[in-house]
């Protein structure tokens, strides 16, 4: 086969061969070669043990070396080309991964042959290798054929493969999203029947697969595969719960289908690298997925056959925080996504009656650093098929954003504070530190939001007026 291979891979292969060791490029880089896609990092496997190939790797990678994966038989190195680009490699001894039924971490056993190593990989499209330096293509399980067909098939019986490493079930749905492939029927059946096995995998590893899936080009396809397989019932149960049984008169939308549309619309609203929401944006995408998860818990059938979901925003925000924490997402991301879910209905009142300047200030102040994402989530959530309603909504959002731009020319929204601070409040009112100072500060912040910046004398007069009123 015709390959254009990295010269660094050939050089590294020669260094291993000189010491009598086998080296082969494996997995994603080989798959990407066939797909004519660029790989930034190169993965190899070798007959050598880490202590044997460490000197070779240190010599080759004169710009960097790491050994965090040593207990798994993996060492890494990096060098910079003359043009400044970095080439990172990781070399792993031929191995097999197996899980103890009661352990969350895989046990590592070394193997003896390249073919044996490939047989233990997740899918045939990742079980191809290219021996270096002689460039012999090794494909014992028909990975190239499956790649051409766009099928995810396991090298061995899928039940054995998923039992050895249950995370492979999550990887399957992730590759549906990343590569646009379908899961082979026998593998799909095995995932459905073995889905409970995913509970043995740590939340962090599941989170990483979900993150890669959501940041891919086709996250909707991945989420649909996650739900269809039954894995979502265990790792993300709030998502399949959106598949509410639609009432016989179809008076409300399928919330899962609506959510998938909102996700796709939100992705189109992400920006280039210099824009306010650079693509791909995990915070926005998670918020799109989670924004309506409070609906199943808040659904009520009202008189006249109407369906309501009162307070699903607040309920959904609490559910979002709980789920993302359980998946060990970063604290700041958990709070940001939860707040977007909490605020996602906030703008809708503007459509019915344009806000005062004070209401616009409050919206921007409450959204804070999430303002640009919130507007994009709000736009994506407006999925009505009624063209007139859609146009009215879009125009209202355009108008509100224009007003924000004009207001920002006059005042710094990010630094909105009362016109008198806590120390001045104590001095003016003759008070000691305590709850009353907090109440006064809050009132003056509300006054600032309602009226915009005012003269200092005006702010002092308002503070004294308010205090006299509550003391009366």
Whether residue 447 sits in one domain with residue 393: no
Q: Mapping DSSP to helix (H, G, I), strand (E, B) and coil, where does residue 151 land?
A: strand
Assess contact for 313 and 344: CB atoms under 8 A: yes
CA distance 130 to 25: 5
Per-residue model confidence as pLDDT tens digits over 380-437:
999 888 889 889 899 999 999 999 988 877 776 666 677 677 788 787 777 788 888 8
Per-residue model confidence as pLDDT tens digits over 33-56:
898 887 778 999 999 999 999 999
- pLDDT classification of 98: cutoffs 50, 70, 90: low
CA distance 122 to 20: 28
Residue 67 lies in a domain: yes
Per-residue model confidence as pLDDT tens digits over 287-346:
999 999 999 888 888 887 788 788 899 999 999 999 999 999 999 999 999 999 999 999
- pLDDT classification of 78: cutoffs 50, 70, 90: very high
Residue 170 lies in a domain: no
Global confidence as pTM:
0.82
Domain total for the chain?
Answer: 3
From the list 292, 212, 216, 219, the residue with the least C-alpha distance to 252 is 292
- pLDDT classification of 107: cutoffs 50, 70, 90: low
Whether residue 446 sits in one domain with residue 404: no
Whether residue 435 sits in one domain with residue 334: no
Residue 318 lies in a domain: yes
User: Given this model, what pLDDT does residue 66 score?
Assistant: 94
Mean pLDDT of 345-349: 86
Per-residue model confidence as pLDDT tens digits over 151-196:
999 999 999 999 989 999 999 999 999 999 999 999 999 999 999 9
Whether residue 289 sits in one domain with residue 375: yes
User: Given this model, what pLDDT does residue 421 score?
Assistant: 76
Whether the predicted pLDDT of 455 surpasses 50: yes
Whether residue 400 sits in one domain with residue 460: no
Q: Last residue of a domain, which of 141, 162, 177?
A: 141
CA distance 2 to 130: 11
Q: What is the CATH number of the domain that holds 78?
A: 3.30.460.10
Residue 259 lies in a domain: no
Hunting for tokens 């004519």 — which residue is that? 36
Q: What is the mean pLDDT of the chain?
A: 88
User: Given this model, what pLDDT does residue 316 score?
Assistant: 95
Q: Mapping DSSP to helix (H, G, I), strand (E, B) and coil, where does residue 156 land?
A: coil
Q: Last residue of a domain, which of 98, 120, 141?
A: 141
Strands (E), 242-374: 300-301, 307-308
Range of the domain at 367: 270-411
Per-residue model confidence as pLDDT tens digits over 220-276:
999 999 999 999 999 999 999 998 655 444 444 588 999 999 999 999 999 999 999
CA distance 111 to 93: 8
Mean pLDDT of 122-130: 95
Long-range contacts of 319-325 (CB under 8 A, 24+ apart): 319/238, 319/290, 319/293, 319/294, 320/290, 320/293, 323/236, 323/238, 323/290, 323/293, 324/286
Whether residue 111 sits in one domain with residue 80: yes
Residue 193 lies in a domain: no
- pLDDT classification of 106: cutoffs 50, 70, 90: low
10 Å Cβ neighbour count for 100? 10
CA dihedral 437, 441, 442, 447 (to 10 degrees): 140
Residue 64 lies in a domain: yes
Q: Last residue of a domain, which of 365, 382, 411?
A: 411
Residues in the chain: 472
Whether residue 23 sits in one domain with residue 76: yes
Whether residue 404 sits in one domain with residue 322: yes
- Per cent of the chain over pLDDT 90 is 59
Residue 80 lies in a domain: yes
Whether the predicted pLDDT of 26 surpasses 80: yes
304 sits in the region (left: phi over 0; alpha: psi -120 to 50; else beta) called left
10 Å Cβ neighbour count for 377? 26
User: Given this model, what pLDDT does residue 441 score?
Assistant: 79
CA distance 194 to 441: 57
User: Given this model, what pLDDT does residue 251 score?
Assistant: 46
Three-class SS string for 111-132?
CCCHHHHHHCCCCHHHCCEEEC
Residue 244 lies in a domain: no
User: Given this model, what pLDDT does residue 283 score?
Assistant: 98
Whether residue 115 sits in one domain with residue 6: yes
Whether residue 427 sits in one domain with residue 314: no
Whether residue 426 sits in one domain with residue 407: no
10 Å Cβ neighbour count for 96? 17
Whether residue 401 sits in one domain with residue 438: no
Assess contact for 188 and 229: CB atoms under 8 A: yes
From the list 400, 290, 269, 298, the residue with the least C-alpha distance to 336 is 290
CA distance 273 to 264: 19
């Amino acid at each position: 086969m015709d390959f254009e291979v990295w010269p660094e891979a050939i050089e590294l292969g020669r260094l291993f061969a000189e010491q009598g060791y086998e080296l082969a490029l494996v997995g994603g880089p080989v798959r990407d070669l066939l797909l004519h896609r660029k790989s930034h990092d190169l993965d190899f496997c070798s007959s050598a043990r880490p202590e044997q190939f460490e000197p070779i790797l240190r010599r080759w990678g004169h710009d960097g070396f790491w050994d965090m994966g040593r207990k798994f038989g993996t060492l890494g190195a990096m060098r910079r080309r003359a043009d400044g680009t970095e080439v990172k490699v990781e070399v792993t001894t031929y191995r097999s991964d197996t899980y103890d039924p009661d352990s969350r971490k895989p046990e590592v056993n070394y193997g003896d042959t390249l073919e044996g190593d490939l047989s233990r990989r997740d899918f045939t499209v990742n079980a191809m290798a290219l021996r270096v330096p002689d460039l012999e293509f090794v494909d014992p399980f028909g990975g190239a054929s499956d790649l051409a067909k766009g099928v995810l098939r396991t090298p061995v019986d899928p039940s054995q493969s998923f039992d050895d490493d249950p995370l492979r079930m999550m990887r399957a749905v992730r590759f549906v999203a990343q590569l646009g492939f379908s899961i082979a029927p026998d593998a799909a059946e095995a995932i459905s029947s073995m889905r409970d096995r995913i509970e043995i995998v740590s939340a962090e590893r599941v989170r990483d697969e979900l993150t890669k899936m959501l940041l891919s080009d086709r996250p909707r396809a991945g989420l649909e595969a996650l739900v269809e397989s039954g894995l979502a019932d265990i790792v993300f149960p709030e998502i399949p719960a959106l598949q509410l049984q639609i009432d016989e008169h179809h008076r409300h939308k399928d919330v899962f289908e609506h959510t998938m549309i909102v996700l796709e619309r939100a992705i189109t609203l992400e920006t280039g690298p210099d824009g306010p929401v650079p693509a791909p944006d995990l915070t926005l995408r998670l918020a799109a997925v989670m924004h309506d998860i409070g609906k199943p818990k808040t659904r009520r059938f009202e008189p006249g056959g109407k369906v309501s979901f009162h307070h699903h925003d607040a309920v959904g925000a609490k559910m979002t925080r709980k789920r993302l924490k359980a998946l060990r997402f970063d604290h700041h991301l958990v709070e940001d996504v939860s707040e977007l879910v909490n605020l996602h209905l906030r703008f809708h009142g503007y459509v019915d009656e344009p806000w005062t300047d004070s209401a616009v200030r409050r919206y921007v102040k409450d959204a804070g650093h999430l303002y640009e994402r919130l507007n994009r989530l709000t736009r994506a959530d407006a999925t009505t098929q009624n063209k007139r309603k859609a146009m009215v909504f879009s125009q209202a959002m355009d108008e509100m954003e224009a007003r924000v731009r004009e207001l920002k020319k006059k005042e710094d929204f990010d630094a909105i504070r009362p016109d008198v601070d806590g120390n001045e409040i104590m001095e003016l009112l003759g008070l000691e530190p305590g709850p009353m100072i907090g109440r006064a500060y809050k009132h003056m912040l509300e006054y600032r939001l309602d009226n915009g910046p005012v003269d200092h004398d005006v702010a002092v007069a308002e503070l004294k007026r308010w205090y006299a009123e509550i003391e009366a």
